[in-house]
Amino acid sequence: MVWSDRWRQASFREVPFQLDAAEIGGGRRAEVHEFPFGELPHTEDLGRKRRMYRFDAYLLGEDYDRELEDLLAALEGPGPGILVHPHLGSLAVFCTTFTVSQSSLQGRMARVSLEFTESGRRRFVSTRPDVVGAADESAAAAKEAAQAEFGDQVVAGGPGFVTGATAGEVSAVGRELQALDLNGPAGEVSEFLREAARLSDQALDQVARPFEFAQEWGRTLDRIEHAVDSRRAALEVYLGLYDSEPATSGGAGIWQQAANRNARAVHNLTQVAAGAQAVRMASRIEWESFEEATDAAKRISDAMSGLLGSVADSSYEAVRALLEKLAAAVPPPGQQLPRVAQLTPAATTSSLVLAYSQDGDVSGEAALVERNRGRIRHPGFVTGGEPVEVLVRA
C-alpha cells in the first residue's frame, strides 16, 4: 500500500473540501535561560506546543455556493469538530481562522484559507464522562467508514443492469425519503425534499462517482434532524429507514452478483448513516423514564446489529464501537430517571388528584393522561380498581 492508498478526503464536521496545500505547525515549548559569563544556556522543556493545521482549500463546481454555505456553517459552529486530515486521519480541532476568496474571473469556484488548532483536553478532569461527545465522534467515524466502504466496493462499470441496480436502490430509498411525514420548519423540509429528489432523479449519474455520492447521501440524511420538530421525531424517522430491504434478484452470474452487492451497498450506506444519527438523537433526548430510554436503546441496537453480518471489516468495527457508545450514553449515566410502575386507585378520582398524590403538584397531569391514553378515557374520571401507569422517582 502506497501513500495514495492511505489518502483521505479532507472534511470538517463531514463537510468536504478540496486542497491545494496543507501545512502542520508544532514543536516544543521552551524557556531559554542565559547566565552572566556563562558559555552555554539552559533550555527548560515546558512540553509540546499545540499543533496547528493550515489548508489552502477550494470548492469547485456548479453547486460551489451551496457547498460554501455548508462549510461556513461548520467552521463557525461552537466547540470542537472532527477534521479529517488527508494523511493524519480524524482529529478533534477548533477552527480559529478562515478567509474566503471569490473572483469574477474564476466562476464556479471559491478559495478558502483555513487554520485549525487541536482541541486538546480539559485542564481539570471531569468526573462525568462526555457520553454525548463520544457518541458524536463514534457516529462520525461509522458514517465515514460506511462511505469509504461504499466508494471501494461499488462496481461502477460492467453491464447496464449493474449500475442500474445501484441507481434503482438509490431511487427506491429516495422515494421513501420523499414520502416521509416531516413536521419541522418549512424551509428545512423543502431543502431536504429537494436534495432527496435531486439525488434520486440523478441516480445513474450520481452512482458513477460512488465516494462523492456517499458523502452527499450522508449529508442529505443528516438533514432529517432539522426537518422535524423534535429529536424524538428524528429518532423515529431514522429507525423507520430500517424497515425496508434491498431489491436483489437470483442468479449466480458474476455480474448479477455485482448488481446485488451494489444494491446491498446502498442499503448498508443508508442504514449505517441512519443508525449513527439515531444514536446521536438518543444521546441528547431528555427521557421521561428509565424504561423509555432503555427501550429506545434496545430498538437502535437491534436495528443496527442486523448490519454486522453484511458490512466490511472496517464498517463492522465502527458500527460495533458505535453500539458500545450507545450503551454508555442511554440511559444517561449519573441520572436517576424515574421508573414506570402500576398504580391502582382504590376509588374513581381525577387525573389532577392522581398527579398531585404522586408528585406533590399537578404539573405532571398532562403527561400522566398521555401515558395512559386508552386507559384514562376522560381526565375527570380515572376509574377506581383499574391500573394506570405512573412514574416513580428514585
Within a domain: 360: yes
The answer to whether position 163 is within a domain reads: yes
Whether 189 and 270 share a structural domain: yes
Please report the pLDDT score of residue 294 as a whole number: 92
Query: CA-to-CA distance for 258 and 275, rounded, in angstroms?
Result: 25
- The pLDDT tens digits for 134-173 are 999 999 999 999 998 887 877 666 566 666 676 777 777 8
Nearest to 223 by CA among 181, 184, 179: 184
Boundary of a domain, candidates 329, 348, 376: 329
pTM above the 0.85 mark?
A: no
User: Final residue of a domain: which of 118, 147, 165?
Assistant: 118
Which residue is associated with the grid cell 430500517?
242
pLDDT at residue number 237: 92
> How is residue 364 written as a grid cell?
405532571
pLDDT at position 206 is: 67
Q: What is the pLDDT of residue 18?
A: 92
Do 373 and 319 fall within a single domain? Answer: no
Q: How far is CA 10 from CA 19, 121, 143, 224, in A?
A: 8, 23, 15, 24
Same domain, 292 and 371: no
Q: Are residues 164 and 285 in the same domain?
A: yes
User: Does residue 185 belong to any structural domain of this protein?
Assistant: yes
Confirm whether 314 is domain-assigned.
Answer: yes
Number of domains the chain is built from: 3
- Are 300 and 135 spatial neighbours (Cβ–Cβ below 8 Å)? no
Domain of 15, in residue numbers: 3-33+45-118
Q: Which residues of the chain have pLDDT under 70?
A: 1-6, 121-129, 155-164, 166, 206-207, 246-259, 358-360, 393-394
pLDDT given for residue 124 in this prediction:
45
